[in-house]
């Protein structure tokens, strides 16, 4: 039984796995990590191994607490991965992207897989059927695009994501929704189609905080898997425990 900790840019996810089975998942703020972990420990007192992936930051107090409670594994470029990493700068590859690719190896072995993570940023990661990770792309996420329109102009309002009513926005708010959301949808569909020109048997995974919002609007055929990153972290821990 293991605890998986995914420290994102906005929230922190805590998940308990028993082998491959996800038993529990909760989302907390940075200030609530210790309390959240204590609750989990009370429920699963034999839990003593954890893996942490961090693209955000944790307070030293929180890190010390986790180290005192678990045999803590921290995901980094030095960790053994279940795929061949052909990224030209492997030390700069985000740990979240490593975990997503690991999950694809576990669930879709020997397939050409494009993993799209729609969160604070939108990342595209590709691994081929020969288990070689080739790289991908990084793009601004949905809310980042809304924020940019507000922060870098004098009068445009700050909006939250909303499915556009029409392609043609008939008000400033609707024009922003159309521009941001349709821009993201066309970007994702366009990237998928370009990959399919070279890999006709492509498997496409969509995950991340905006996956549910986007999945019903995309034209391309995808697997929407919200817990893909957590599953990848759990698999990396298993993979390194079996050395």
Which residue reads 């729609």 in tokens?
A: 118
Angle 18-236-205 (CA atoms, 0-180°, nearest 5)? 90
DSSP 156: P
User: Among 39, 96, 189, 201, which one carries the catalytic annotation?
Assistant: 96
Q: Are 109 and 87 in contact (CB under 8 A)?
A: no
As annotated, the binding site for ATP includes 6-13, 120
What is residue 243's predicted lDDT score, i.e. its pLDDT?
A: 56
How much helix, strand and coil, in percent to the nearest 5, is found in the chain? 40, 25, 35
What is residue 115's predicted lDDT score, i.e. its pLDDT?
A: 98
Cα 185 from chain centroid?
A: 18
What is residue 57's predicted lDDT score, i.e. its pLDDT?
A: 79
Q: Are 140 and 119 in contact (CB under 8 A)?
A: no
Which residue reads 């796995």 in tokens?
A: 17
As annotated, the binding site includes 6-13, 87, 94-97, 117, 120, 172
Q: What is the pLDDT along the chain (243 residues), one digit of tens a residue?
A: 999 999 988 889 999 999 999 999 999 998 999 999 999 999 999 899 999 998 877 888 999 999 999 999 999 999 999 999 999 999 999 999 999 999 999 999 999 999 999 999 999 999 999 999 999 999 999 999 999 999 999 999 999 999 999 999 999 999 999 999 999 999 999 999 999 999 989 999 999 999 999 999 999 989 999 999 999 999 999 999 865
Domains contained in the chain, CATH given: 2-74 (3.30.420.40), 84-229 (3.30.420.40)
- Give this prediction's pTM: 0.93
Residue 160's alpha-carbon distances to 67, 81, 117, 153, 192, in angstroms, are 37, 37, 19, 17, 26
Q: Which of 93, 101, 153 is nearest to 132 (CA)?
A: 101
39 counts as catalytic? no
């Amino acid at each position: 039984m293991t605890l998986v900790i995914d420290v994102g840019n906005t929230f922190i996810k805590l998940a308990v796995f028993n082998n491959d089975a996800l038993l529990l998942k909760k989302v907390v703020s940075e200030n609530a990590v210790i309390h959240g972990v204590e609750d989990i420990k009370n429920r699963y007192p034999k839990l003593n191994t954890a893996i942490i992936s961090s693209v955000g930051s944790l307070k030293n107090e929180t890190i010390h607490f986790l180290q005192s409670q678990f045999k803590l594994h921290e995901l980094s470029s030095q960790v053994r991965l279940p795929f061949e990493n052909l990224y030209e700068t492997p030390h700069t590859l985000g740990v979240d992207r490593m975990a997503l690719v690991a999950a694809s190896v576990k669930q879709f072995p020997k397939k050409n897989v494009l993993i799209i993570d729609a969160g604070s940023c939108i990342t595209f990661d590709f691994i081929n059927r020969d288990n070689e990770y080739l790289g991908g792309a990084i793009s601004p996420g949905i809310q980042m695009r809304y924020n940019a329109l507000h922060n870098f102009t004098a009068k445009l309002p700050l909006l939250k994501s909303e499915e556009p009513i029409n392609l043609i926005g008939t008000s400033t708010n609707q024009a922003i929704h159309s521009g941001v959301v349709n821009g993201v949808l066309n970007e994702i569909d366009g990237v998928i189609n370009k990959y399919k020109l070279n890999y006709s048997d492509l498997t496409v995974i969509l995950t991340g905080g905006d996956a549910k919002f986007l999945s019903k609007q995309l034209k391309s055929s995808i697997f929407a898997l919200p817990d893909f990153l957590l599953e990848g972290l759990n698999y990396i821990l298993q993979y390194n425990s079996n050395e």
